[in-house]
Amino acid sequence: MPTASPARMDLTREGDTLTITGSGDWTAFSVDNIDVELRKAVENHTGAIHFDTGNVGVMDTAGAWLVERTRQAAQGKAFVHSDDDPSRVKLVSVLKPDAETRAPYLLQEEPLGLLGRFGKATSSAWSDIILAMNLIGAAIAGAQMKSGQKGGIRPISIIHQMDHMGLKAVPVISVMSFLIGMIIAQQGAYQLKVYGEELLTVSLVGILHFREIAVLLTAVMVAGRTGSAITAEIGTMKMREEIDALHVMGLNAVGVLILPRLVALIIVMPALVLLSAVTGIAGAMFVSDLYVGITPSQFMDALRTNVGPEFLIGGLIKAPFMAAVIGVISAVEGMKVGGSSESLGRHTTSAVVRSIFAVILMDGLFAIFFASIGY
């Protein structure tokens, strides 16, 4: 145990002012002999306090805490701390509670009510856009940051992500699309049966599913399944400081973690949309034969006659853009995760909600664009 000179203090009173003059070493090994005496002297004094530690030899956090504790006990009284050593003055100031500096800002957190919250949301959205642009740029730059090393894209990582995002999503996409196709065909046939135009159900299902439902349903399913997984994976890596470890190794974490996921998602999304379109038509064909009596051969003939490939192509064109939006939003939310599991859950939920909102908005913009060019 280190040896230390005993801590000493002299108490002098001049009028209403109590002067505390310290000497010796004020460290964790020596301040215990003055702790009780100092506490009683401050409690029994009702006037101003002057604390002088200029003659103290060595002071550590324990000694500085005695000064700060005295200041806190002197609330409502004049308190002055003097010391010739600025490092000791700074050490004492560091021990002040953070609440004293945060309180004035908390009082002004939302002075404008609804308008203030709108401004805060706008600022947060702009920050997310900047972060998204940075992520896209860093992903395109590649994995390596060391001089003379470029690229660093690992095809095996992209293939692994394609298996996770595409192949393992086939069952849920197929079942959901098959059921949605059945529902649309049944409802369409039920309404058109009144007019004796049950065969128009084929055109209704074909155009609606090829152009809108397949891509929108797939995008929503991907946002809920894959988008949440991207946010959770990146957020967990950030919580465990694995992303910081990649930076220490000289690697671009965005290029290593996010680029393979973006590339894989953009590749598999059109394939999943095509799968959704095929299984949706299969479900509609099954219901049409069962509910209306339209045989599969009649269904396919009407489909080829009335529904051209341009409707399917229109849906496939949207798929890569929606995949990119889902991937970027999910990655942004993952990079915003803090150090708690609560933050991880909150940002994972936010990623799914924002991705679904974005793909629906994008689908509406594509509908306006296609209508304006007559497609």
Per-residue pLDDT tens digits for 246-259: 777 777 777 778 88
Q: Mind listing the pLDDT tens digit for each residue in 290-313?
A: 887 888 888 888 888 888 888 888
How much is the average pLDDT of 14-31? 86
Q: What is the pLDDT of residue 64?
A: 87
- At 299, list the tokens: 């269904």
Q: Do 276 and 217 meet the contact criterion of CB atoms below 8 Å apart?
A: yes
Residues forming a β-bridge with 49: 18, 79
165 CB burial (10 A radius; 0-12, 13-18, 19+):
buried
- At 331, list the tokens: 């990655």
Range from 28-32, 209-213, 214-218, 337-341 carrying the lowest mean pLDDT:
337-341
- At 323, list the tokens: 């995949």
Considering the entire predicted model, what is its pTM? 0.63
Secondary structure (3-state) at 105: helix
Range from 110-119, 216-225, 311-320 carrying the lowest mean pLDDT:
110-119
Q: Which residue has better confidence, 235 or 144?
A: 235
Residues forming a β-bridge with 26: 59
User: What is the spatial distance between Cα 190 and Cα 103, in angstroms, rounded to a whole number?
Assistant: 65
Q: What is the pLDDT of residue 141?
A: 65
User: What is the spatial distance between Cα 314 and Cα 273, in angstroms, rounded to a whole number?
Assistant: 11
Q: Mind listing the pLDDT tens digit for each residue in 302-347?
A: 888 888 888 888 889 999 999 999 998 988 888 888 777 788 888 8
Q: Are strands 79-82 and 48-59 parallel, antiparallel or unpaired?
A: parallel
Q: Do 267 and 162 meet the contact criterion of CB atoms below 8 Å apart?
A: yes
Q: Which residue has better confidence, 299 or 100?
A: 299
How much is the average pLDDT of 354-358? 91
- Among 190-204, 212-226, 301-315, the range with the most confident prediction by mean pLDDT is 212-226
Q: Do 162 and 270 meet the contact criterion of CB atoms below 8 Å apart?
A: no
- At 138, list the tokens: 């860093």
Q: What is the pLDDT of residue 150?
A: 52
Helix (H) or strand (E) holding 55: strand 48-59
Residue with tokens 């530690």: 53
- At 78, list the tokens: 């004049």
Rg (CA), the chain: 34
Within 10 angstroms of residue 102's Cβ, the number of other Cβ atoms is 10
Residue 271 has pLDDT above 90, yes or no: yes
Q: Are strands 8-14 and 17-26 parallel, antiparallel or unpaired?
A: antiparallel
Q: Do 59 and 9 meet the contact criterion of CB atoms below 8 Å apart?
A: no
How much is the average pLDDT of 228-244? 86
Q: What is the pLDDT of residue 103?
A: 44
Residue 44 has pLDDT above 90, yes or no: no
User: What is the spatial distance between Cα 347 and Cα 335, in angstroms, rounded to a whole number?
Assistant: 9
16: closest CA among 47, 61, 49, 54? 47
CA distances 353 to 120, 227, 233, Å, are 19, 10, 17
Q: What is the pLDDT of residue 142?
A: 59
